[in-house]
Amino acid sequence: MITRIFIIIIWHQAGGRDDSQTYYTWNDEVTEAAKVFDSYKEAQDTWRSCGMNEIHAGFIIECSPKEQVWI
């Protein structure tokens, strides 16, 4: 079984500037741990259904262990 893990990174636009270098994971409000999704579609659908796309810029990245270069 192949496990795929996706998270969403929020780009903090700091007033709409394109040069902001502040990024953070979209976290659970209670545990403060990154929200984790089983598919790209699930991440996208959840992001949109919560209205996050109306207030933040975000992008989905795959964090599946086999897809990473570990440091």
At residue 25 the predicted structure's pLDDT band, cuts being 50, 70 and 90, is very high
Per-residue pLDDT tens over the stretch 39-61: 999 999 999 999 998 888 899 99
Backbone angles phi, psi at 41, to 5 degrees: -65, -45
The reported pTM is: 0.82
Cα separation of 43 and 22, whole Å? 21
pLDDT at residue number 17: 65
* Chain Cα centroid distance, residue 48: 12
**pLDDT for res 44:** 96
Range with the poorest average pLDDT among 19-23, 35-39, 58-62: 19-23
Q: Where are the domains of the chain?
A: 6-67
Sign, CA torsion 19/22/28/29 = negative
